[in-house]
């Protein structure tokens, strides 16, 4: 298997990976972040051409997560990019960085799109749609309008929490996580615990909703949209931090 295979794909949707069933979502995020860091660490020990190749793989991992339509992936992608700044700075400062090599480095950094950096906007839109679909499964016209309005105008952190409450298991920590793949700095354990409790509280209700849906009864979901779902993290803050990171990456590439 070659790096090219993994880095060629422009858009990635991890929700469609079948074998993720056996892999908690946090392991995917932590694992890719760890792989990017690993590649960057190894880059530091290699000659410049090899180092650039390794940096390419690290940025590819960030770009793959950026293209995944999920806010947790976008936040992780931004975190990876931030961690790659020192590695890029170190390589860009090497004496044997020619014009050609610098252009390669620029192309690598540009794997992170500037139009929707780290995919936050696309992720937000995708999650709005997902939560909308899930919550609107069985409401009458009046409630539908209210819930749609709420979802269209809600904060990104609320939407993320709501998706995780109505979505698959996210609170499962990586089993026996090592330093490299640990994600507690991004998704703190107590936040995950609160989210899990919330899911616990709402899951029986979800089954009830679905059962009622079968008999075409109407259920008022406004209660759920008004519930105090604990935030996991604020993707909007990550988006702004990501802009700073991009500036640092651009700065590192400037010919000095």
**Residue 96 CB partners (closer than 8 Å, separation 6+):** 48
Answer for which of 47, 100, 176, 214 binds other proteins (CB under 8 A) is 176
Nearer to other proteins by C-beta: 86 or 188? 86
**Residue whose pair of structure tokens reads 């029986």 in the numeric block:** 204
Residue 44 has phi, psi (to 5 degrees) of -60, -25
Please name which of 244, 195, 253 lies closest in space to residue 78, comparing C-alpha atoms: 244
Kindly write down the DSSP assignment for every residue of 44-101, as one continuous string: TTS-HHHHHHHHHHHHHHHHHHHHSS-HHHHHHHHHHHHHHHHHHHHHHTSTT--HHH
Nearer to other proteins by C-beta: 76 or 245? 76
Using the rule CB under 8 A, is 23 a contact of other proteins? yes
Least gap, CB of 158 to other proteins (angstroms): 23
- Choose the binding region for other proteins from 135-143, 176-184, 195-203, 221-229 (rule: CB under 8 A): 176-184
In the chain, the DSSP E strands lie at: none
Least gap, CB of 74 to other proteins (angstroms): 15
Size of residue set near other proteins by CB under 8 A: 52
Nearer to other proteins by C-beta: 35 or 249? 35
Distance CA 26, CA 42 (A): 24
Residue span 146-175 as binding mask against other proteins, x where in contact by CB under 8 A, dash where not: ----------------------xx--x-x-
**Residue whose pair of structure tokens reads 């293209």 in the numeric block:** 67
Residues that bind other proteins (CB under 8 A): 1-9, 12-14, 16-24, 27-32, 34-35, 37-39, 41-42, 44-45, 53-54, 57, 61, 64, 68, 168-169, 172, 174, 176-181
């Amino acid at each position: 298997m070659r790096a090219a295979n993994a880095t060629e794909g422009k858009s990635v949707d991890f929700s469609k990976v079948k074998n993720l069933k056996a892999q908690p979502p946090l392991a995917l995020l932590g694992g890719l972040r760890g792989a990017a860091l690993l590649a960057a660490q190894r880059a530091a020990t290699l000659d410049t051409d090899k180092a650039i190749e390794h940096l390419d793989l690290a940025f590819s991992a960030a770009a793959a997560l950026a293209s995944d339509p999920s806010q947790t992936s976008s936040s992780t992608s931004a975190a990876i990019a931030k961690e790659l700044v020192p590695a890029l700075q170190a390589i860009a400062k090497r004496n044997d960085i020619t014009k050609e090599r610098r252009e390669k480095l620029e192309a690598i950094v540009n794997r992170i799109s500037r139009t929707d950096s780290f995919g936050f906007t696309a992720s937000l839109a995708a999650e709005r749609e997902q939560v909308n679909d899930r919550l609107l499964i069985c409401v009458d016209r009046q409630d539908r309008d209210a819930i749609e309005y709420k979802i269209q105008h809600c904060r990104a952190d609320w939407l993320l929490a709501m998706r995780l409450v109505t979505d698959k298991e996210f609170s499962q920590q990586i089993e026996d996580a090592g330093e490299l793949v640990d994600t507690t700095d991004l998704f703190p354990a107590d936040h995950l615990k609160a989210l899990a409790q919330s899911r616990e509280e709402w899951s029986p209700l979800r089954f009830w909703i679905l059962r009622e849906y079968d008999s075409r009864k109407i259920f008022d979901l406004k209660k759920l949209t008004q519930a105090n779902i604990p935030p996991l993290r604020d993707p909007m803050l990550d988006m702004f931090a990501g802009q700073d990171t991009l500036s640092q990456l651009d700065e590192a590439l400037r010919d000095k």
